[in-house]
Copies of this chain bind each other. A is one copy, B any other.
Amino acid sequence: MALIVQKYGGTSVGSPERIKNLARRVARFKALGHQIVVVVSAMSGETNRLIGLAREVMAEPDPRELDVMVSTGEQVTIGLTAMALMELGIKAKSYTGAQVRIVTDDAHTKARILHIDEKRIRADLDAGNVVVVAGFQGVDEDGNITTLGRGGSDTTGVALAAALKADECQIYTDVDGVYTTDPRVVPEARRLKSITFEEMLELASQGSKVLQIRSVEFAGKYKVKLRVLSSFEEDGEGTLITFEDSENKDSNMEQPIISGIAFNRDEAKITVLGVPDKPGIAYQILGPVADANIDVDMIIQNTGADGTTDFTFTVHKNEMPKALSILRDQVQAHIGAREISGDDKIAKVSVVGVGMRSHVGIASQMFRTLAEEGINLQMISTSEIKIAVVIDEKYMELAVRVLHKAFGLEAA
């Protein structure tokens, strides 16, 4: 008998019919003798409907009150899910985040979980109940309703699995696992049976949208065994996210060097040209950008021959105009930069794999493959298990396809 936390997203609970399907799946697990905690999101579209309503009465909705409203989305789903289970003769009981007590800080609309009181859930499980918990929400120390921000239901699932020391946390999504890359771009993309947490983090942060990055970090931190599965497939085994250094040593021996290729075109590149190369320049450029709450992703600095340097970084496309005007108004004259330029017609493509640690030549193979297609590299950034390049947006799909082939990812 295992204790399993199953998280179902918005499309999996998008209609009463789908909730009944979900209940039948849970019933099959229950019949095997497992204890099940089900975490559900709001029905698809519901969160946006509620935010839209809020905006009709307040131009910039108050965060505390928005959380009060938006949290009702999952609250409806937990009631429906518990009832669908009961209709199959299964004992079930629902909890809102506040009822569990999933205690968070008071950062409304993007709260972080502080601790979870798992006693009531455990008692219910021991009494034979399936426990249904509202994802995405919690309560602060003063009893105010909070939400964890978009995608927070994954985090709820992982955090509950950690608190309950569950044997596995299963995340049911629209896709049947993590792929070597997006099958819409490369039809030969292949589902991975397993992937390490580090790789998953790199894939998630590089734009693969299967799992919310925060939940992966959380799972890594608390050693929660995470599995991504399709909610529309009966017997899929999905993709297991593993700890490289523990139980998966053996399978790592056969692990391919590269696990997957991630990409995104949400970023824009900003270049500060001809800056005198002095200590403190990076801070003088990025300080005002950070003060404006603009997230920076890649950062690259190259020293030129003439005692000046070019400084390049990427931000979300939507923030490029704001970042440019901050730099031009507050920074350029101050640091004596020659020019500030922006480019939002870029894409980032990354190859990810723990195998590259012990294999030389991955970078050169990547660069050669792209050069053979005449694709120019505008930025390069590397980590232990990832090489990312920024290229012209129009070559993105081509780059992903040729890299997928070059690293043999189609092979079964």
- A59 on interface, CB distance cutoff 8 Å: yes
> Is there contact, CB below 8 Å, between B99 and A79?
no
Bound-state Cα–Cα, A145 to B145, Å: 15
* Known contacts A58-B83, A65-B79; A53/B16 CB under 8 A: yes
Copies in the complex: 2
B-contact bits for A142-172, CB 8 A (1 contact / 0 none) = 0111000000000000000000000000000
Bound-state Cα–Cα, A65 to B134, Å: 13
- A66 on interface, CB distance cutoff 8 Å: yes
From A20, A59, A69, A94, name the one whose CB has the most chain B CB atoms within 10 angstroms.
A69
Stretch of A3-11, A70-78, A304-312 lying at the B interface: A70-78
- A19 on interface, CB distance cutoff 8 Å: yes
> Is there contact, CB below 8 Å, between A96 and B79?
no
| 8 Å CB contact of A86 from B16, B50, B58, B144 | B58
> Is there contact, CB below 8 Å, between A75 and B76?
no
Bound-state Cα–Cα, A57 to B18, Å: 10
A88 to chain B, nearest CB (A): 10
* Known contacts A20-B57, A83-B62; A75/B78 CB under 8 A: no
* Known contacts A76-B72, A143-B99; A65/B86 CB under 8 A: yes
> Is there contact, CB below 8 Å, between B75 and A62?
no
- A84 on interface, CB distance cutoff 8 Å: yes
Chain B residue at smallest Cβ distance from A72: B72
Which B residues lie within 8 Å of A61 (CB)?
83
B-contact bits for A37-60, CB 8 A (1 contact / 0 none) = 000000000000010011011110
B-contact bits for A124-152, CB 8 A (1 contact / 0 none) = 00000000000000000001110000000
> Is there contact, CB below 8 Å, between B62 and A82?
yes
> Is there contact, CB below 8 Å, between B78 and A62?
no
Bound-state Cα–Cα, A318 to B72, Å: 34
A271 to chain B, nearest CB (A): 42
Which B residues lie within 8 Å of A57 (CB)?
16, 19-20, 23, 80, 83-84, 87
| 8 Å CB contact of A79 from B69, B92, B98 | B69
A121 to chain B, nearest CB (A): 13
> Is there contact, CB below 8 Å, between B75 and A68?
yes
> Is there contact, CB below 8 Å, between B54 and A83?
yes
| 8 Å CB contact of A72 from B23, B75, B143 | B75
Chain B residue at smallest Cβ distance from A98: B98
> Is there contact, CB below 8 Å, between B82 and A65?
yes
| 8 Å CB contact of A94 from B58, B65, B79, B80 | B65
Which B residues lie within 8 Å of A92 (CB)?
65
A112 to chain B, nearest CB (A): 21
Which B residues lie within 8 Å of A145 (CB)?
96, 99
Chain B residue at smallest Cβ distance from A84: B57
Chain B residue at smallest Cβ distance from A101: B143
A12 to chain B, nearest CB (A): 14
Chain B residue at smallest Cβ distance from A54: B83
> 5 additional contacts, CB 8 Å, given A57-B80, A62-B86, A99-B144?
A20-B57, A65-B80, A65-B82, A68-B82, A68-B94
- Give me the interface of A with B, judged by CB distance under 8 Å: 16, 19-20, 23, 50, 53-54, 56-59, 61-62, 64-66, 68-69, 71-72, 75-76, 78-80, 82-84, 86-87, 92-94, 96, 98-99, 143-145
Q: Which 6 A-B pairs have the closest CB atoms?
A: A69-B79, A16-B56, A72-B72, A58-B83, A68-B79, A57-B84
